Amino acid sequence: MSRVAEFIFRRRGRNGWHWTDVFTWVWLIGGLFIMFGPAVWLVGSSFKSPAALAEFPPSIMPYVTQKATVEGYDKPLDLYEVTMPEGSKKVLAEVRRIGIVAQMVSPDKPTEIVKVNIAERTPVRTMSFATSNYSEPFTHFDFVRYLWNSVFVTVTATVITLIVNSMAAFALSKYEFRGRTFAMLLILATLMVPLSVIMVPLYSIISALGLFNNLWGVILPTVATPTGVFILRQYMLTIPDELIDAARMDKASEWQIYWRIVLPLTAPALAVLAIFSVVWRWNDFLWPLIVLSRKELYTLQVGLSVYSGELNVQWHFILAMTVVTMIPVVLVFIFLQRFITTGIAGTGLK
């Protein structure tokens, strides 16, 4: 295949660089920065203290100004490296600042106040990872609960999706019955009915069933995925009917045929659907936003969006929790990317 590509953009002259070669590498390297850069910047920023986040221009690594406790002062004071009038450099602690003049003391001689122009000093900074950005939301806020809600929704919805969709796919691939084509068409037609079109009446149905402000109200409408039925059916069609006939001869019930024979043989397609379902449900936003209005029921996505929309955004917590929200998906990406890419290339599903 790659020879095809080589032909389309072949190099003029084996050793020289055709413009397409240059363009390719500019595009790839640019892509590397644009695609990965933002996520890397997010992770880097999530370890900065609030003070470091407010800085402009921002530093690449998380730095904090060093502080020192000086005798006679209650609070720890910021340390600065000061260029003294005679040219030597000294580390002093700032007591207070009035306009462009700072009153500073030497940590060894707390009584002697030196006045310094602020242009002649630079803060003493050390690298420090603000891990409290991660630990605090889990202890002081509801993020553990959001995390749990998200995990519950994702796992439950995926398990139900797998069972319900595989049962339907089994019926649609291994039985002849009236209305089979109609059922299949009906399922595929609903691919054209997205949530944004039916959200108003769906909300009333969920409320009528008493599932408003209930995690089941988030889970149930998502589990009968048409794409899931479709890929599982396509896969089950490749399982030879002789296997099933043989099992019937041996007095296996239809349920046993489904559970003991067809399902194990469908494992690869089930794995692909499971991966997709986990990513879909973990990332769901609009529907949980509508169904869940009580804080303790929020999923991670809803919680994050609500906190980031507040007037006084606590970016240091938001960034850290965004990273936490990213972790499962990044793990899926690293370990299961192959399944996903072949799944998409084969069926065009997302």
Q: How far is the CB of 103 from another protein (least distance, A)?
A: 28
Per CB under 8 A, 198 contacts another protein: yes
Site for another protein in 160-189 (CB under 8 A): 163-165, 167-168, 170-172, 175-177, 180, 183, 186-187
286 and 299 in contact (C-beta within 8 Å)? no
Q: How far is the CB of 222 from another protein (least distance, A)?
A: 8
Per CB under 8 A, 24 contacts another protein: yes
Per CB under 8 A, 36 contacts another protein: yes
Per CB under 8 A, 136 contacts another protein: no
Per CB under 8 A, 253 contacts another protein: yes
Site for another protein in 62-101 (CB under 8 A): none
Round to whole Å and give the CA distance between 148 and 339: 26
Among 106, 254, 271, 339, binds another protein (CB under 8 A): 254
Per CB under 8 A, 10 contacts another protein: yes
Q: How far is the CB of 72 from another protein (least distance, A)?
A: 35
Among 98, 100, 119, 200, binds another protein (CB under 8 A): 200
Per CB under 8 A, 335 contacts another protein: no
Per CB under 8 A, 42 contacts another protein: yes
Whichever of 38 and 76 has its CB closer to another protein, that residue is: 38
Among 31, 123, 210, 268, binds another protein (CB under 8 A): 31
Q: How far is the CB of 8 from another protein (least distance, A)?
A: 6
Per CB under 8 A, 220 contacts another protein: yes
Among 102, 223, 231, 297, binds another protein (CB under 8 A): 223
Site for another protein in 271-300 (CB under 8 A): 279, 282-283, 285-286, 290
Round to whole Å and give the CA distance between 232 and 228: 6
Per CB under 8 A, 55 contacts another protein: yes
Per CB under 8 A, 45 contacts another protein: yes
Burial class (CB in 10 A: 0-12, 13-18, 19+), 216: middle
Per CB under 8 A, 130 contacts another protein: no
Q: How far is the CB of 116 from another protein (least distance, A)?
A: 27
Among 258, 274, 317, 320, binds another protein (CB under 8 A): 258
